Structure 1
Amino acid sequence: MSQPRIHIVTLGVSDLPRSRQFYEAWGWKASSASNENIVFLKSGAGVLALYGRAALAEDAQAEDLPTGFAAVTLARNARSRQEVDDWFATAVAAGARELKTPQEAFWGGYSGYLADPDGHLWEFAFNPYFVFDDHGNLALPG
Structure 2
Amino acid sequence: MSLERRISLITLGVADVARSSDFYARLGWTKSSASNDDITFIQLKGTALGLFSRASLAEDAKVENTPSGFSGVTLAYNVSSEIGVDAVVKFVISCGATLVKAPEKVSWGGYSGYVADPDGHLWEIAFNPFFPQDEHGHVVLPD
Q: Fold match, TM over 0.5?
A: yes
Structure 1 ranges of 4+ moved more than 4 A: none
Report the counterpart of residue 11 of structure 2 in structure 1. Answer: 10
Task: Look up the equivalent residue of 2:119 and give its one-letter code.
Answer: D
Instruction: Please tell me the residue identity of whatever aligns with 2:94.
Output: A
Aligned pairs for 1:1-142 within 5 A: 1-142=2-143
Deviations 1:14-47 (A, max 9, x none): 1111101111112222111111111111221011
Kept after mapping to 2: 8 A contact 1:25/1:90: no
How much does 1:61 deviate?
1.1
TM-score (norm 2): 0.93
In the alignment, is the contact (CA less than 8 A) between 2:131 and 2:142 conserved in 1? no
* 1:53-99 deviations in Å (ceiling 9; x for gaps): 11111111111112331121111100111211111111111221111
Q: Percent identity?
A: 50
Shift of 1:2: 4.1
How many pairs does the alignment contain?
A: 142
Q: Secondary structure at the match of 1:124?
A: strand
Separation of aligned partners in 1, 2:118 and 2:65 = 17
